[in-house]
A and B are shown apart, each in its own frame.
Chain A
Amino acid sequence: MKNHIPRIASSEITPEGVYLDRRQLLAAGFATAALGTLGASTTLAASPPALAPLTAARNQAVSTSDAPNSYEDITTYNNYYEFGTGKSDPAVEARDFKPTPWSVTVDGEADVKGKFTLEDILKPQVLEERVYRLRCVEAWSMVIPWTGFSLASLLQRFKPTSKAKYVEFTTLLDPKQMPGQRDAVLRWPYVEGLRMDEAMHPLAFMAVGLYGKTLPNQSGAPLRLVVPWKYGFKNIKAIVRIRFTEQQPRNSWQIAAASEYGFFANVNPAVDHPRWSQATERRIGGGLLAKRAATLPFNGYADQVASLYSGMDLRRYY
């Protein structure tokens, strides 16, 4: 993970609250055992040992000025069904996941295809930090300082052909390491996709780090997509395959429930999920009495991305 311009590591300027309290771990275990009636899945603060620091300057132009969530909130409240359907499952279940060595297969409508190691992928990249809002389809949100590089800069290297209308991403399939894949909650492996113009948009980002350190496993290590104007489930994690296609890929949540989750999944307060409102969101970390905030079209990135969808009926293409 080399980088050309040494700058101040964000870990030096941003406080974080990582800790692992053994007493809390033990007691939480007892509480779960003793109190089946609560259906309690306990939250455990789990941080894998020694994540390598990354050097990256903050891209202020695209970063929100909202205060980032704590490292603890970001890494203990995860939707990552490969490691369990509970929000606190991934922090525990992903602890022994091996994000290295890693390689990504590139195929489909592109001139440059093949298997690329993570080092190949990272070599020409200058890492930068972007503080993005993340809006989950479940109507909660966070603010996260990602480290990574623009998705376009990666995809261009593969020289997609004129037939490449979409790009499809696939997560690792490895039920041994990903215990959630032993249950057919979703169709495995997880698949996501973008239209090429979305993928090439300067806001689309490939994250390899969080809070100035290598991405922890529960956040999608080693390679995780971040598309801030779309619902969180578009942000596919632990990517092992990038395929350029002519046809629109079928993403996992669309396969699971097409009436509830679409391909585009743009954040849109005007189009409710069939079972809940998308008009407002709860910002994680606000405490018990924090008011819900209004959800913004395209998660507040409308100025930059709304033109991608001009003329499209966003009620139909949700």
Chain B
Amino acid sequence: MNSTRQFRFIFKPLVFAACAIPAGLMVLGIMKLQGITEFAPMDLGADPVSRLIHACGITALNLLLITLLVTPARQISGWNNLIRLRRMLGLFAFFYAVMHFTCYAWLDQGLDLAAIGADIVKRPYITIGMAALLMLIPLAVTSTSGMMRRLGRKWIKLHRLIYVLTALGVWHFYWQVKKDIREPLLYVAMFAVLMAWRIGWRFKGKFVPARVPEKT
């Protein structure tokens, strides 16, 4: 098995499974709550709605940061195959962000469109969270190889939106915490490191723009 095949048939499915674990845990938690199963590794606790919202949101944020880690990891390790994980990671981030919003709009707000609209307009942390989610949509839509080829250099420019929307996502997290900002600050720090790495790399004159990968 050559390294490309190994990557495609072993490594990539493993990463896929890892990305799906949080969703699986949440489904098990819901099944326990509904009395379908007796045991769930993640108990949703006394307030399952906010627990699900938070779990989806934090997973989306984690995956965005992991997506942003791909390029530095590739630059450091020289393992160029890593780039082939990026689309999947980004799409999983999109999936969890959509679930985050769905849990909020459906489970928390009961699809009360007036209340949701008022929240988006009146509450800055929800406004920026919504903006981040909307920015993810064009990125998800243009994530196919066909769209990459068609858009060419424009694709690279468009997908720089991930820097903006991840910053908004971290800010969204920071802003909704009541008082204990240690966890959001950790996310600020991780995002800062990922961005600083990129600036440093460019400064060294070695910056290699993200390349459209050849057909896999």
Contact = CB atoms under 8 A, between A and B. Distances in A.
A79 to B, nearest CB: 9
Interface in A280-306: 280, 282, 284-285, 287-289, 291-292
Interface in A108-145: 138, 140
Q: Is the interface of B mostly helix, strand, loop or mixed?
A: helix
A288 B45 contact: no
A4 interface: no
Interface residues of B, number: 41
B123 A37 contact: no
B45 A87 contact: yes
Given A85-B179, A288-B107, A40 B47 contact: no
A292 B50 CA distance: 12
Q: Which range holds the interface residue count of chain A?
A: 35 or more
Given A37-B62, A38-B42, A87 B179 contact: no
B59 interface: yes
Contacts of A31: 25, 41-42
A31 B180 CA distance: 23
Q: Is the interface of A mostly helix, strand, loop or mixed?
A: loop
B123 A276 contact: yes
Closest 3 CB pairs of A and B: A77-B46, A43-B45, A31-B41
Interface of B: 21-22, 25, 30, 33-34, 39, 41-50, 54-55, 58-59, 62-63, 107-110, 115, 118-119, 122-125, 175-176, 178-180, 182-183
23 contacts: A35-B21, A37-B22, A37-B62, A38-B58, A38-B59, A40-B25, A44-B43, A76-B46, A85-B179, A85-B180, A87-B46, A138-B178, A140-B50, A185-B179, A275-B123, A276-B176, A277-B123, A280-B115, A282-B50, A284-B47, A288-B48, A288-B107, A292-B110
